[in-house]
Amino acid sequence: MSRLFDPEAFDQAVSRHGSMMRLGDVNRRYIAGIAAFAFALLCFGLVEAEFSIARMIAGATRLGDFAVLMMPPDPGKNLQLYVFAMIDTLGIALLGTLIAAIFAFPLAVIASRNVFPIWFVRFFLRRSFDTVRGVETLIWALIWISAVGMGPFAGVLAMATADFGAFGKLFSETIETADQRPVEGIRSTGGTAAQEFRYGVLPQVMPVIAGQVLYYFESNTRSATIIGIVGAGGIGLHLSELIRTLEWQHVSFVVLMILVVVAAIDFVSSRLRQMIGGQKPI
């Protein structure tokens, strides 16, 4: 029986085809350079952020203490307060998402190449969506609080603003990828532009858009749990207060409640999305 591995044959193969197996020297040096730069930047960042072994150990010990103090999770007498705040959070997420979708849809239609002909209007809208999208929900919450005062109302508006940008982009991309053949069919039978949109485009994009809105509702329940940190309503306000006052058992209860609710919403929403047949946006 011959050996499985024949060193001689291997060497021959390498000498014949070696150049194909190896990266070019230039390419290799290039990659090494990038890696070295990335590593140097990482070290610089760690120093800038004042990382140190002593600090890590001290912090980890304190985290361990917190973890011990968190057990068992216990809401004390505030159970009702926390549950109500959680419902607030869900309400903020729902209203914010829907308001964003309602306002974003008509503008997204105008921002779509296959529906609206004037390019600079589309360009302007696209950039506006990007601008709004570039700002975090929490920043919007901070701004809306200054404009309308503290409370869930500011939270709804912040959620709606942040999602408005995201929806505008997503919806218009969805509309642009719609199949043009139904539209042409309607045009060939003498349909108006409005009819082309209503019967040619809308039936194609509606399920996808509904799926996207649901997906955002899902992710917004997560964001809505934190906007309270700046005072925009919901469970976040209690959570940040509890952390600052070191009420660890309450903290662990609230975090656990958030995790359970988010998981439940995820479950329901992914079921619904499957029913609608919409896709998950990337």
Partner 1 sequence: MAPLLAAYGHAVARRRLRFALSALILGLCIAFAAWWVRFDVFLLVSRIGSISSYFSRLVHLDTGALVFTDPADWFWGFTPWIKKLGETLLIAYVGTVLGVLGGFCLCFMAASNLSGSRTRWFTRRFLEFCRTVPEIVFALIFVLAFGLGPMAGVLALTIHTMGSLGKLFTEIVENIDMKPVDGIISAGGSWTQSIRYAVLPQVLSGLATYGLLRFEMNFRGSSIMGFVGAGGIGQELLISVRKFYYSDVSAILVMIIVTVFILDILTARLLKRLSAGG
Binding site residues, partner 1, CB under 8 A: 4-5, 38, 41-42, 44-46, 48-51, 55-56, 58-60, 62-63, 66, 87-88, 90-92, 94-95, 98, 130-131, 134-136, 138-139, 142-143, 146-148, 151-153, 155-156, 222-223, 225-226, 229-230, 233, 239-240, 243-244, 246, 251, 255, 258-259, 262-263
- At residue 54, the 3 state secondary structure works out as helix
Residues near 118 by beta carbon (within 8 Å), at least 6 away in sequence: none
- Of residues 115 and 242, the one with the C-beta less far from partner 1: 242
The CA-to-CA distance between both ends of the chain, in Å, stands at 54
> Tokens for 26?
């230039």
- Of residues 97 and 112, the one with the C-beta less far from partner 1: 97
CB 129 within 8 A of CB 198: no
d(CA 209, CA 280): 10
- Of residues 51 and 106, the one with the C-beta less far from partner 1: 51
Burial (CB count within 10 angstroms: exposed 0-12, middle 13-18, buried 19+), residue 144: buried
- Of residues 90 and 178, the one with the C-beta less far from partner 1: 90
**Which amino acid appears at position 185 of this protein?**
G
Q: Which H helix or E strand runs over 186? A: helix 181-188
CB of 117 to partner 1, least distance (A): 26
CA angle in degrees (0–180, nearest 5) for 266-271-275: 145
CB of 73 to partner 1, least distance (A): 14
CB of 193 to partner 1, least distance (A): 25
- Of residues 69 and 79, the one with the C-beta less far from partner 1: 69
CB of 88 to partner 1, least distance (A): 6
CB of 32 to partner 1, least distance (A): 15
Chain centroid offset of residue 91 CA: 19
